[in-house]
Structure 1
């Protein structure tokens, strides 16, 4: 096993998702994950505190991209326009590996209450990051919370559609379309 082999983090995620899908989350051990990934246990623990954290791999980077996009939105942009800028910026994190893993990850999460809980916490973390970024822009608190929650719903809808799409299109068009769909739906609530 190579100690510092390139791509170790991605190999760990792929190995874990495959094992979670094949034998279930509870039956999968860290030892099996590292063996399949071809790395050492110490390499695993350099990237992840435990196997649950494999599900939220990249959440910190995603939150950073979302907040950078919101912060970089044009001055005077409304909260949803700023969230759209955040979603566009975050879309740069999604590539072929994400699309490849999405169906298997979805199946693994659906089969495990613990992973469903972890997925829910990921959504809460993304909403909090977007809320903070909107508050920094001077958005009123309740508006910032609502816009951030809409951003999370748009992100989830876009991810589901993008990962199931036949064509090799980037994530951004799906995210922006989902946000526009929610904006339109919100206008009909009154």
Structure 2
């Protein structure tokens, strides 16, 4: 086995997801994942705390969303800043190349209560990151929290649609979901 090979986190994530789908989450070990990826157990633990974290990728998406909200054009409404962040997430995180992985990831998570719980916690972290970025833009606390919650709902709807359907870009699905959320709340 080579001492170093590129893309270890991506390889580990792909291997874990394949094994979770084949054997089930409970029946897959860290050693299984490392072996499938052609890496060692110590390499696994250099990148992830445990086998759950392989599917949740740290704070990367939260950072993308928060950074894009802060960078949104000056003067845009809070939900529009969130829309700009969803556009960025579509370009950087939810790409056509990631569609198959994302679809399988979603089905594995839905099949395991422990993973659903971790996904819900990740959703809370994304919402908090968006609210924090909105406050950084000067949006008052309550308005920032409401916009972040509505944005998180639109993101969840868009992710479900995008991972189910394919073909549509995530940014388009997110903007459509955000428009539907806005219409549902009457703003």
Q: Would the TM-score normalized by the shorter structure come out above 0.5?
A: yes
TM-score, normalised by the number of residues in structure 1: 0.92
How many Å apart are 1:48 and its aligned residue? Answer: 0.5
Counterpart position of 1:70 = 69
Asked if the contact 1:55–1:118 (Cα under 8 Å) also holds between the matched residues in 2, the reply is no
Counterpart position of 2:45 = 45
Matched, 1:105 2:105: yes
Greater CA drift, 121-130 or 34-43: 34-43
Which string of whole-angstrom CA distances, capped at 9 and with x for unpartnered residues, describes residues 136-158 of structure 1?
A: 11111111111111111111111
Alpha-carbon distance in structure 1 between the residues aligned to 2:30 and 2:64: 29
Matched, 1:155 2:155: yes
Distance 1:144 1:119, change over 3 A: same
Q: Which runs of structure 2 are paired with 1:19-34 in the superposition (5 Å)?
A: 19-34=19-34
Asked if the contact 1:134–1:144 (Cα under 8 Å) also holds between the matched residues in 2, the reply is yes
Alpha-carbon distance in structure 2 between the residues aligned to 1:12 and 1:109: 17
Asked if the contact 2:70–2:133 (Cα under 8 Å) also holds between the matched residues in 1, the reply is yes
Q: Secondary structure at the match of 1:76?
A: coil
Greater CA drift, 149-158 or 124-133: 149-158
Asked if the contact 2:96–2:169 (Cα under 8 Å) also holds between the matched residues in 1, the reply is no
TM-score, normalised by the number of residues in structure 2: 0.93
User: Where does the alignment leave 5 or more consecutive residues of structure 2 unmatched?
Assistant: none
Distance 1:163 1:147, change over 3 A: same
Q: Secondary structure at the match of 1:162?
A: helix
**Residue correspondences, number:** 186
Q: Secondary structure at the match of 2:4?
A: coil
How many Å apart are 1:177 and its aligned residue? Answer: 1.1
Counterpart position of 1:125 = 125
Alpha-carbon distance in structure 1 between the residues aligned to 2:119 and 2:22: 20
User: Where does the alignment leave 5 or more consecutive residues of structure 1 unmatched?
Assistant: none
Counterpart position of 1:55 = 55
Asked if the contact 1:3–1:40 (Cα under 8 Å) also holds between the matched residues in 2, the reply is no
Counterpart position of 1:36 = 36
How many Å apart are 1:87 and its aligned residue? Answer: 1.0
Distance 1:166 1:134, change over 3 A: closer
Alpha-carbon distance in structure 1 between the residues aligned to 2:15 and 2:180: 35
Alpha-carbon distance in structure 1 between the residues aligned to 2:151 and 2:126: 9
Alpha-carbon distance in structure 1 between the residues aligned to 2:154 and 2:2: 40
Greater CA drift, 22-31 or 86-95: 86-95
How many Å apart are 1:97 and its aligned residue? Answer: 4.1
